[in-house]
Chains A and B, each alone.
Chain A
């Protein structure tokens, strides 16, 4: 299957700082990328959908000024958690799709804000 690389896999940051997470599609062009958040024993919660070259579409309840998404190219999207707080600690996962249906996921990023 197609490969999506997400980096970093783990990050610990201090409260009030910003963290950037990268998501790259390595062997296909991702017309659409998705960012999810997952709490323990919970389902994936879609945060936003981004298409290359346009602004991301955020799901209801997700602060776009806090979770900045940039989909600068067909192979790269970034999620920046700004002014992180302990309640932002979670597992963040990106996925990328070439056809808008099947999505391939990155490895996930475990964010811990202390």
Chain B
């Protein structure tokens, strides 16, 4: 079956450390993968998009990798801060016939402790 999985357990790390979140998928022909941040009771906020032919993308303290062989994307936050505490969602854009669809992971909750 087709699915997308993120770490189900909450991630707790110390301020200043690097947080690494995982997004795995199966049985999709990916076009791109996106990472979003969602705070409680709010809509997701777009962070980064990485295309199938890209290995790595960076934006300030954020880094995303995309390995289409392993069918996995890693999302890193370096020098983490308490303000980074949120739920992080990955969304996979994939080809379905002539259309493109987007499927969402359940998200991983990150808590950065001061």
Enumerate chain A interface residues (CB-CB to B < 8 A). Answer: 1, 4, 6, 41-44, 46, 91, 93-95, 100-108, 110
Contacts and interface: CB of A to CB of B under 8 A. Distances in A.
B49 A102 contact: yes
B41 A108 contact: yes
A74 to B, nearest CB: 19
B80 interface: no
Contact of A101 (B42, B49, B106, B107): B49
Contacts of B41: 91, 108, 110
B43 A42 contact: no
A108 B46 contact: no
Chain B, interface SS category? strand
B30 interface: no
Interface of B: 32, 34, 36, 41-46, 49, 89, 93, 100, 102, 104-107
Contact of B34 (A4, A102, A110): A102
Given A42-B106, A93-B44, A106-B43, 5 more contacts: A1-B46, A91-B41, A101-B49, A105-B46, A108-B41
Contacts of B36: 105
A105 B45 contact: yes
Contacts of B106: 41-43
A34 B11 CA distance: 30
Contact of B42 (A94, A103, A107): A107
Contact of B100 (A46, A100, A105, A108): A100
Nearest to A2: B46
B49 A107 contact: no
